[in-house]
Structure 1
Amino acid sequence: MSDEEKCESAPNLSPEPLERRNFLQGFSQQLAEEIGASLGSIPLIACCFATGLTDGTLYNGNTVFVALGTSGQNNKPFGWARSLFSIGCFVIGCLAFSRFHKLIGGGRRRTTLFFSFLLQTVIVVVAATIIQTGIVDGTYPSRRDPADVDFLELAPIGLLSFQAAGQIVNSRGLGVSEVPTVVITTLLCDLISDENILQPLRRNVKRNRRAIAFVLTLLGAICGGWISKATGAVQPSLWFVAAIKAAITISWLFLGVKTTD
């Protein structure tokens, strides 16, 4: 066989498949990396604003409403059941997200955080869609008679409570427990009771995170209330929350890896 024939019969060693394989391997390794608490706390703090937006619409005060309802002091029929259902969905969400994190490699892995927030985003979109399509009354203030019980409201309430559990599980997995993202009273208690609350900014990072998280939660609630009042509906705030969650989901692909924290 001549040299020319050998060259024609040789396989095509194009560098393109090799480059594609190297890219996929590099991307796979990147997804397996662990996110540091210092950088990972930034998206979690942003979640506090999203929580405020949600609470500024219709979904807050569950424990209080359960207590008032069971003692006959809540004037909204079955309001206690609605709140109890919300708490139950939050508990189930904590269980589901914690097991999910353990299954796919731990709470610090980029893959875990990405898919966790992707799921949260999808759930918020579904909840907003249910209200947007009119399946559940989303007018603000509601035009319905307070005595008119609509159990379909449990669908978005349960979904929002379930996804909120993902945030606090993420904060625990990343080791940023000072930013629970969903419990403002605990956050405020830890902030005020901090013995080093007056330390300079660079010497008390946890205090800084708590303070920013509290302000953003409060600001989110105010914005959620004003958005609902201006639009006469609650779903715009939920679409805003979905957009924030989507941005956070994408951010996990680009944040730096774990260092010394």
Structure 2
Amino acid sequence: MPEEKLEPSQGYSSGPIEPRSYGRHLLERFSEKVDSTVGAVPLLACCFATGLTDGTLYNAYGTFVSMQTGNTVFVALGTSGQNNKPYGWARSLCSIGCFTIGCFAFSQLHKLIGGGRLRRTLCASFLAQTICVVVAASIIQAGVIDGSYPSNRNPADVNFAELAIVALLSFQAGGQIVNSRALGISEVPTTVITSLLCDLVIDERILEPFRKNVKRNRRVVAFVLTFLGAVCGGWISKATGAVQPSLWFVAAIKGTITLSWVFVKKVN
């Protein structure tokens, strides 16, 4: 009986099997959508970074870079001459403007790269945030701007170069909340406490067992981490007598988050 020949269509290759190139595998990996359930963990780490940044910057320069409600009040008080820090309203106004620009810029970055849940988009977004924090910390470390704590300068002296630090940190903070929206984890906005607490206490399922209300759990953890971050920011500044150590800490957190997106599991 003649030997039956198997055609390639029957599941066999007519030629040698070529191994998939590493570059192709890497490209496919960065084109995957990440699992938002696991992706909530890096966002919770951002809450700690937010508290750390705002706790440090408020003590040093009298403004926030994430909490824009407070900045809006500072600007309003400044217009009536009630702000007791010279040109404090300018720092707050700079923060509001750069935060808003950051939100717009990062949202456009998401559209340009292909979507907020793609691995490559999240890596690029957090890499940009890390670079902003590193540049801000480097400016202070180089002595271009006074980073001593408590400040040795005369309160009446105004150094508008400080706006560079406020601008960089506020801009990157906009990226955090854009990422939380893109991942569909709006219960962890990373930069807003007011709405987070409101959503927590009005949750009709607030008293359900731990495993049955994930959103409530995330809100509680987000609040606690933001609070602890602010406490740590104050402690670090007081212990070191400088602002930049806290910022280097934030940069390390952001850098770690950037790398973590490479390993977060994809959507099945």
Q: Distance in 2 between matches of 1:43 and 1:225?
A: 23
Alpha-carbon separation, structure 2, partners of 1:234 and 1:188: 29
Cα distance between partner residues in 2 of 1:145 and 1:27 = 54
Match of 1:30 in 2: 29
The match for 1:41 is 40
Deviation at 1:43, TM superposition (A): 0.2
Runs in 1 of length 4+ with deviation above 3 angstroms?
A: none
What corresponds to 2:130 in structure 1?
A: 121
Q: 1:3 corresponds to which residue?
A: none
Show CA shifts across 1:74-104 (max 9, x none).
1111110110011000000010000010110
How far, CA to CA, are the matches of 1:189 and 1:134 in structure 2? Answer: 41
What SS does the aligned partner of 1:157 have?
helix
Equivalent position amino acid for 1:58 in 2: L
CA distance in 2, matches of 1:201, 1:257: 25
What secondary structure sits across from 1:139 in the alignment?
A: coil
Residue 267 of structure 2 is matched in structure 1 by 258
Q: Distance in 2 between matches of 1:127 and 1:194?
A: 39
What do you get for the CA RMSD once the two structures are aligned? 1.4
| Residue number in structure 2 paired with 1:217 | 226
| Correspondent of 1:88 among 85, 93, 97 | 97
- Percent identity over the alignment? 70
| Counterparts of 1:38 and 1:211, CA distance in 2 | 16
Cα distance between partner residues in 2 of 1:190 and 1:132? 40
2:50 matched residue in structure 1? 51
**1:169 is the counterpart of 2:169:** no
Distance of 1:28 and 1:228 partners within structure 2:
42
Per mean C-alpha deviation after superposition, the further-off stretch among 58-67 and 160-169 is 58-67
Write the distance in 2 (CA, Å) between the matches of 1:141 and 1:190.
Answer: 36
Instruction: Return the offset for 1:64.
Output: 2.1
Partner of 2:191: 182
Q: CA deviation at 1:192?
A: 1.4
Is it true that 1:196 corresponds to 2:195 in the alignment? Answer: no
Count of matched residue pairs: 243
- Structure 2 residue aligned with 1:75: 84
- Report the secondary structure of 2:120's partner residue: helix
Alignment-mate amino acid for residue 26 of structure 1: H
5+ residue gaps, structure 2: 1-16, 59-63, 65-69
Per-residue deviation, 1:173: 0.3
Q: Distance in 2 between matches of 1:204 and 1:33?
A: 27
* Range with bigger deviation, 226-235 or 190-199: 190-199
Equivalent residue of 1:76, what SS?
Answer: coil
Distance in 2 between residues matched to 1:26 and 1:71, nearest whole Å:
60
Q: 1:258, 1:145 → 2: CA distance?
A: 55
Give me the whole-angstrom Cα distance separating, in 2, the residues matched to 1:148 and 1:62: 21
- Alpha-carbon distance in 1 for matches of 2:195, 2:228: 17
How far does the alpha carbon of each residue in 1:142-179 deviate from its partner, in whole angstroms, 9 at most, with x for none?
Answer: 11111101000000100000000000000000000100
CA distance in 2, matches of 1:69, 1:105: 42
Following superposition, the deviation at residue 211 of structure 1 comes to 0.4
